[in-house]
Every structure is written in C-alpha cells, then in structure tokens.
Structure 1
Amino acid sequence: MVKRLKLTGLAVALGLVIAAPMARAETLADAMIGAYNTSGLLEQNRAVLRAADEDVAQAVSSLRPVISWSADATRQFGTTRSASTSNFIVPTVSNTVSASLIAELTLIDNGQNKLAIETAKEAVLATRQQLVSIEQQVLLSAVEAHLEVRRAIENVALRENNVRLITQELRAAQERFEVGEVTRTDTSLAEARLAAARSQLAAAQGALTVAREQYLAIVGRTPGALQPLRSLPQFPTSVDEAKAIAVRSHPQVKSVQHQVAASELNILRAEAAMKPTVRLSGRLTVTEGLDSDRFTRGGSIGLEAGGPIYQGGRLTSLVRQSMANRDSARGQLHQVIDQVSQNVGNAYAQFRIAQASLESSDRQVRAATVAFRGVREEAALGARTTLDVLNAEQELLNARSARISAQVDEGIAAYRVLSTLGRLTATDLKLNVQQYDPVSYYNLVKDGPIQKSQQGQQLDRVLKALGKN
C-alpha cells in the first residue's frame, strides 16, 4: 500500500513537471532574430533602397510618351472706333475658354534615357549591398550585446561568490582571533578585502544593468536567461583564403563595384548630351467664345530636332567631371579592397589572441585553484596567515575573471571574422526570420506602373503594409 502511494505521488509530481511551462533560455540566434526583426536602422536603409528603386521607374518614364493638358479662360476688353461704328468709340468685350491636350515623345536621344536607366539600376544594386552591410552591422551588434550580458552575469556570480568566500574567511579569522591564534591585523585585512569585494560586486552589478540596457536597445526586449555560446561559427583557417573570399564577396566591395559601373555610364550619358535629339509632339485644342457663337477646334503634329551648338563649355565640363568621378570611384574601390583585407587580417589576429588567452586562463584557473585549496588547508593547520589565504583567493578570482573575458572575446572575435568575410547575414546564418526581399518591391516599380493599373493597386497594398510596420 505504501509503495503504491509512493508511485502515485511520483506520477503526480511528474505530471506537474510536464504540465508546467518550461522557460527556455534565449540563444544567440534568438538575439540575432530579435535584432533583425526590430532594428530601426534596417528599416531606415530598406526605405533608402526603395527610394533608389523609384529612380529606375523615373528613368523608365523618360522613354514613354508624356501626355498633359492645359486650359485657360480669357476675358478681352477695350474700345474701338471705326467706320462701322460711325466713328464713335465703342467698348468691346469678349470671353473665351480653351482646352488643349498635349503629347510628346522622344524618338532619338542617342541613348541618354537608356543609359539613365542602366545607371539607376547600378545604383540600386549598390544600395542593396549597402543594406547587406547594415544587416551585418545589426547582427554583429546583437552578438556583442548577447555575449556582453553573459560576461556581466558571470562576473556578478563570480563577485557574489567572492564576497561569500571572504565573509567565511573573515568569520574564521575572528574565531581564531578570539582564541588568540591570530592578531587584530588578520581580521582587519579580511574586513578590508570584504569591503573591496562588495565594491567590486556593486560595480559588476552596475555593468550588468548597462549590458541589459544595451541588449534591450539592440534586440528589442530585455534579456532573460541566456544560454552560453556552445559552438563557434565555421570559417576558413587560412587568412589568405579568407582575404580572397572577402575581396570577392564582401558587400562593401560589391557596392563600390556597382558605383564604378554607374560612373562609367555617366560618362556615356554626358557624351550623349552633346548630340542632337528628335522629339515627336502633338496638340489638340478646343476654343469657344462664351458671348458669341465662335467655336474653333484644331490640332498639330510635328517633329522637332535640336542640339547644342555652344553652351559656354558646360557640356564638355560635364564630361570631364564624369571622368573625374569615375576615377574617384575606382580609387575608392582600391581603398575598400585594402580595408577589407586589413579587417580580415585584424579579425583573425584578434580571434587567435582570444584563443591563446582562453588556453592560458584555463591553465591559470587550474593552477590557482590548487594553490588556493592548499593555502587554505595550510592556514587551517597554522602554517599560513589570513593574508596568504586572501591573496590566494584573489589570484583565483583574477584567473576566473580572465577566463570569462577570454571566452566572451573569443566568441565576439569569431563572429567579427564572419562579418569581415561578408557572411554574417540572416541567409548565411540560416536564421528563422521572414527575410526582407529587396527584389519584390523593385519588380513592382521598375516598369513605372500608373496608379490605376493592376500593378499599381498591388503596389498600394504593399505600401499600406509597409506603413503599418
């Protein structure tokens, strides 16, 4: 009977455990997902990209007919004298209204408009790569925020344990003082160390508060229980191989490459502007007199050709300016490639420093632990003083603190390596997020849809959805 009751109680307890919601500790991936979904910086640069997409639509419109209307109402008044009025001065008044429908189409522009479209497309591609760079920046900030909170939490736990240990040492010193084994100096040393430990604990708690606020600003929520970093991301072991990858695929390099392409096209546009253009124009006009039976209706259609002869050197100056901008973009590309390569080398160096520091701190912790235990046992036998115990405990504390920092530094350095390679993105990390598609909006606007069209209505729905975010 007793055994049955015990089994029943165990089953109930297990049922309660299963039914209770288990709080899942947040992972590093959770922090990056939160930052990706809530980053105002990402939203800002997505809007910048959409604005660049609209430049393509505006350039496309230059190849299409431009249809406009105009209307006016005119009142003419004055006086007249003629034989028909028997040489008397007679006032005259007439009121007319007219309306015109005007259409214009550029037939020949030597490729200026098409080059403008291609230039806008290159600008879009460059802006897309800039958005990828911002995404990497946001995700790296999330990594740093997560690991800094972990560092602060572990430092607080370490300082709390330090306060407990020194409190025990103080209590032991006071007991030994009461029986005459030690002097007042020993208890005073322990009291001083305890005051310093409490001060360091308060500083660690303040650092944790700061780290939590930083996490809230970047991830969009306050941190709960955080899982430690279980594994490091994979990347090439060779620095030279990593540099070659970064030069090919880093978004900053790709962005400047598109800027160079756009500057090359701008030279062609400036040269085309020096050549003649041909336009087709048409006009339909209706005029009606309000105080007479006068009514006219007519229209016109014609070709217009023209080109520059002399503009004070402005056009040739624009060509030279475009060439200078092209040379500047090329120079910037070389600088960016050098900077990216240097960043890769620096990131690998920092990662290896963090690894070496972690290995050294592991050995330091093991040795300091053995030393502290030995000194404490010797002090219990009277072979060591309270100061010896406090010093050994401080050495162990420093070793553990160094190990915590080395672990965090190694994790941050590893993700910085990924960032320098251009691989710290939601796609590369396979984050479980609804990724922003830069192509979808571009496909809606690239043909310059009008508001009444089906594509224009679909675009309105997209804009409304964006406005709610």
Structure 2
Amino acid sequence: MSRLAYKALLLGGLTMAPLLLAGGFAKGQTLQEALAQAYANNPGLQAARAQLRVVDENVPQALAGWRPSVVLGASGGYIDGTARSRGQYADVGRQIGSLQATVTQPLYTGGRTVAQTRRAENQVLAQRARLLAAEQQVLSDVVSAYVAVIRDQETLRLNVNNVQVLQRQLDATNERFRVGEITRTDVAQAESRLAGARSARANAEGTLQTSRATFQRVVGVPPERLIAPQPLSAAATSAAQAAEIAMRNNPQVVAALFDEASARDAVDVQMAALLPTVSVQAQAFRSDNSQQPNSRITGEQITANLSVPLYQGGGEHAAVRQARQDAVRLRQLVDDQRRQAMQQSTQAWEQLQSTRAQVDSVRSQIRAAEIALDGVQREAVVGSRTTLDVLNAEQELLNARVSLVQALSNVITASYGLAGSVGRLTARDLALPVTQYDMEAYYNTVRGKLFGTGDVSERR
C-alpha cells in the first residue's frame, strides 16, 4: 500500500463525526412516554397507592367512636328436672329462650375519639407525602434507566466504530510491514490495541443489555428507539434557594412533620384511659319460661353509665409516658429530615453545575484531541511518528468522546435529581400525559361509610 493510500485511510477512518447526544430519531419512544408508562403501571407505585388506601381506613375506624353500637343477643335451650313439695314430685322440664337488643351510645370517652380522629387524619397526610416520595423515586429510576440505555447505546456505537477503525489500521500496518516500511513491533502494537478494543466492545454490549433489562423492570416495556431527552429546567437558581425549597417541599420532610403531629395526638389517645367515660345504653328484652313454665317476661330499660378509673395498675401511665417520648423522637426526626433535604438539594445543585462544566471541558478536550490526532496521523505518514503514537492519539480521542457521552447523560440525570430533591419531580410538575392518581378519592368515599366490606377503590 502506498504512503498516499495509507494517509487517506488514517484521515478518513480515524476521524469520527462529532458526538451529539441530544439528537434522536424522528419517531420513537420519548422520556415523557416512558415516565407516563411507569406512572400508570409500575408495581412499586401501585403498592404505595394501595398503602395509602390502607391508611385512609384509619379515619372511619376513629370516627366509629362517635357512633352507637347495636347488639342483638338470643339464647334457647331446655331445662329438665323435678320439683318436690311435701313428698310430691313434679316434672319441671320446659323449653326456655331469651332475646334482647342493646344500643350503646358513647357520650364522652375522655377525648379518645377526638384524639384518634386527629391522629388518623395526620397519618393520612403523612402517607400522602410518602406516596409522593415513592412517585418521585419511581420517576427518578425511569430517568436513570432511560438515560442509561441511550448512554450505553452510544458507548457501544463508539466502541464498534473503534474496532472497525483499528481493524482497517491493522490491515494497513500489515501491508506496510510486508513492504518493509515498519517493523513487526508496529504490527504487534496494532494487534494488541485491536484485541483490547474488541474486549471493550464486548463489555459495552453486556452493559447495554443490563441497562435494557433495568429499563424494562422499571417502565414495564422494553426500550425501543429511545429519543435522547433534554435536561430539565433547573428547579432553583442557587444552592441556597434549592435548600430552602427542599426544607418546605421535600416529601420526606412533609411526612416527618405529619408523623410528629400524629405522635402528639397519640399522647392524648393514651391520656383518655385515665379520664372518666360516659355512655347511654338502651335495651329491649324478652325471656320465655325462665322462672316457671308458660311464663314470659318482656321489658325495656335505659341507663346512663359513668366510669371513673381510679387505679389500673400503672400500665396506662406508662403508655402515656411512652407516647410522649415517641413524640420527642419524631420531633428530632423532623430536624434530621430537614438536614437531609438541605444536604441532598445542595449536593444535587452542585452536581448539576459540575456536570455542566464537565461537558464544556470535555468538548474542548475533543476538539484538541481531534487536532492532535490529525497532526500525529500526518507526521506518521512522513515517518516522524510511530504506529503507537497514532494508536495512543486515537484512543485519547475515543476516551474523550465516551466521556462526553457520560457527561451529557449526567447532566440530564442531575437536572432531574435536583427537581426530586426539592419535591418537584412528580407527574403534575412534569406535566405527564396521564390521568393523575386522585389521593382524595378513596378517602372521601370511605370517610363517612357506615356499612360495607367490599373493595371500593377506583381502578386507575
């Protein structure tokens, strides 16, 4: 092969087109569609919604303390015996039966019902915040999986192209060796670099398949022609603003606040065991043959009942103290969650800034590496550079382009990570094309429900 042909091969084969991660197919699966698919069908998110409906049922259970209880009781049987009087015996065998209906209406329970209702309401609000946290986690996982597939596809493409280039370079090196222009060492160097490139390609293929499997687990469908997304608009303009928003809006902070309020209500629930209770009881009854044969007793009664606990062994006092300490514990967890939210939001902000700066630096590195590779190729043609110099320059350019792929993917995930840290990574905030789950629908259905054990949840 002539020197001119070798030069044309190097200049044409080793200089790859600039990488643009933000490009994509005219038609394909978008990130919005993947997020919507996961929002509607992700099993983890469905389980979190079911858990909210579980907690919703605490409210009607607490409200039941205001309502009367109605009990219907009945008994029946047979008495067999004899009665003796002045030496005479009589058979007293007879059937007996009774029926009674009792209605009990609590009037005052020491404040237990009021406290239980407040506690249940706060538990519902805390669980709603946890559902938002679960929603954010699922959507964050989708973003990570989506971007990982695109990143690994592009990395594989670069590695495949590198193998092709090195194969052509090895062929050219062998031709030059046969005509005596270079030594066997140059051929061995080219063969070694090609073998390493094939290993990197195999590793990239495995990484891509792993990312595709993760995508299918999170989204529910395999990835098909993914369109590379743009970074999300910054949810804050500074680290300080991000921390301030996170302290108020982060779902974990909100959940901790309602947990602490629920714990304070639990103290009042336990205190109710030390206070008097008042109730009214009405009863209607009928008894057949209970005292003597062929008799029936019927009647009605209404009573007011007062119960004043004086001493119950001290267990109730211990329960009150326990509830107070639990409230103290949860109060500390509120501060801990706020600090975590501040740390996470600040970290997310700084990570976004650093990844953006990294993209600019790597692009500059690629431009410099392309110029350097072009110079090394030209110098190799005239014999002032070795094959190893060309291989090293080409590898440096490949590494820079792979770094750009990773940096661009990091920018996207960091932008969504910042939104999640301040509580803005929800279906509503992202304007996903889905019917949003109504957290209040099931609650409103069951809150005042007096009867029924069927599933009244709405399928969404």
Separation of aligned partners in 2, 1:341 and 1:75: 76
Separation of aligned partners in 2, 1:304 and 1:449: 25
Q: Does 1:44 align with 2:51?
A: no
User: What secondary structure does 1:296 align onto?
Assistant: strand
Contact (CA 8 Å) 2:231, 2:411: kept in 1 or not?
Answer: no
Matched residue type, 1:298: G
Matched residue type, 2:340: Q
User: What secondary structure does 2:440 align onto?
Assistant: helix
Greater fraction helix:
1
2:166 aligns with 166
Q: What's the CA shift for 1:240?
A: 0.8
User: What secondary structure does 2:71 align onto?
Assistant: strand
User: What secondary structure does 2:237 align onto?
Assistant: coil
Structure 2 unaligned residues grouped into runs of 5+: 1-24
Matched residue type, 1:356: A
2:394 aligns with 393
Q: 2:38 aligns with which of 32, 35, 38?
A: 35
Separation of aligned partners in 2, 1:259 and 1:231: 35
TM-score, structure 2 as length reference: 0.91
1:237 aligns with 237
Q: Does 1:448 align with 2:449?
A: yes
Q: What's the CA shift for 1:114?
A: 1.5
Structure 1 unaligned residues grouped into runs of 5+: 1-21
Separation of aligned partners in 1, 2:241 and 2:420: 15
Which digits, 9 at most, give the CA deviation of each residue in 1:86-141, with x for residues without a partner? x2445432211222111000012232212211110011000100100000000000
Separation of aligned partners in 1, 2:380 and 2:256: 67
Aligned ranges 1:50-65 → 2 under 5 Å: 50-65=53-68
**Stretch of structure 1 that moved more, 175-184 or 121-130:** 175-184
Contact (CA 8 Å) 1:60, 1:448: kept in 2 or not?
Answer: no
Matched residue type, 2:317: T
Contact (CA 8 Å) 1:246, 1:420: kept in 2 or not?
Answer: yes
Aligned ranges 1:334-353 → 2 under 5 Å: 334-353=335-354
Separation of aligned partners in 2, 1:288 and 1:319: 48
User: What secondary structure does 1:273 align onto?
Assistant: helix
Q: Does 1:419 align with 2:420?
A: yes
Q: Which runs of 4+ in 1 moved over 4 A?
A: 88-91, 289-292
Separation of aligned partners in 1, 2:197 and 2:209: 18
Aligned ranges 1:165-184 → 2 under 5 Å: 165-184=165-184
Which digits, 9 at most, give the CA deviation of each residue in 1:21-61, with x for residues without a partner? x9721122122112111111111111111111111001111
**Stretch of structure 1 that moved more, 345-354 or 399-408:** 345-354
2:203 aligns with 203
2:4 aligns with none
User: What secondary structure does 2:274 align onto?
Assistant: coil
Separation of aligned partners in 1, 2:230 and 2:356: 15
Matched residue type, 1:424: L
- The number of equivalent residue pairs is 435
Which digits, 9 at most, give the CA deviation of each residue in 1:206-251, with x for residues without a partner? 0000000000000000001111122432221211111111111111
User: What secondary structure does 2:149 align onto?
Assistant: helix
TM-aligned CA distance change 1:217 to 1:316, over 3 Å = same
2:10 aligns with none
Aligned ranges 1:284-433 → 2 under 5 Å: 284-289=284-289, 293-433=294-434
User: What secondary structure does 1:49 align onto?
Assistant: helix
User: What secondary structure does 2:309 align onto?
Assistant: coil
1:269 aligns with 269
Q: CA RMSD in A?
A: 1.9
User: What secondary structure does 1:438 align onto?
Assistant: coil
Which digits, 9 at most, give the CA deviation of each residue in 1:238-293, with x for residues without a partner? 11111111111111111111111112222223333312111100111123359954
Matched residue type, 1:81: R
Which digits, 9 at most, give the CA deviation of each residue in 1:435-457, with x for residues without a partner? 11110110011113323xxxx9x
Matched residue type, 1:323: R
Separation of aligned partners in 2, 1:462 and 1:116: 23
Separation of aligned partners in 2, 1:79 and 1:288: 19
Separation of aligned partners in 1, 2:190 and 2:315: 83
Separation of aligned partners in 1, 2:333 and 2:455: 40
Matched residue type, 1:53: D
Separation of aligned partners in 2, 1:124 and 1:398: 51
